Amino acid sequence: MTKPGETVLGVDEGNHLHIVLSTETDAGQVAIANFTTHYESHRRRPTGCLIIAPHEHPWLRHESCIAYEHARLFDMERLNQKIRQGQLAQQQPCSATLLRRIQLEALDSILVPNDAKAAIRATITTDSME
């Protein structure tokens, strides 16, 4: 079962690294978002961006950011099936610290859909109670 912080390649045609941001919802979905190359123009967006340095995850080769405009809910069974079938390549999970930064920024972003935010919020609340 896929957990928050796990990362996969192959979800999109651009082969971006995607991160799971939530536990499974009652509807069987998880919130995901992808890393993308950071460009100076991202800083000028009205919503800004969360910059991630290459040393923060082994897959990253240059300064990156999270493409919150592509965050969404994704069917958990479909995700796990694609991993089992080799259609998605699992990468090293994010550290708990990086995951938390990405989750908190997602909750503040106007680009993340409310249903994905709710899944992330529920995950953070559950984590803080453990």
Residue 23 pLDDT grade (very low, low, confident, very high; cuts 50, 70, 90): very high
Calpha distance 80→68 (Å, rounded): 22
Looking at the whole model, is its pTM more than 0.85? yes
Mean pLDDT to the nearest integer, 54-72: 87
pLDDT value for 126: 66
Domain limits, the chain: 7-129
81 pLDDT exceeds 70? yes
Q: Which of 63-67, 86-90, 114-118, 123-127 has the highest mean pLDDT?
A: 114-118
Query: Which residues, other chains included, contact 27 with Cβ-Cβ below 8 Å and sequence gap of 6+?
Result: 73
CA–CA distances in Å: residue 119 to residues 21, 44, 84, 97: 8, 28, 24, 19
3-class secondary structure, 1: coil
Cα–Cα distances in angstroms (integers) from residue 9 to residues 42, 49, 73, 119, 130, in the given order: 22, 21, 16, 22, 30
> pLDDT-derived band of residue 53, with 50, 70 and 90 as boundaries?
confident
Measure the CA–CA gap between 26 and 48, rounded to whole angstroms: 31
What pLDDT does 129 receive? Answer: 45
* Predicted pLDDT at 45: 53
Contact at 8 Å (CB) between 68 and 33? Answer: yes
| Arithmetic mean of pLDDT, 117-124 | 96
Higher pLDDT, 123 or 128: 123
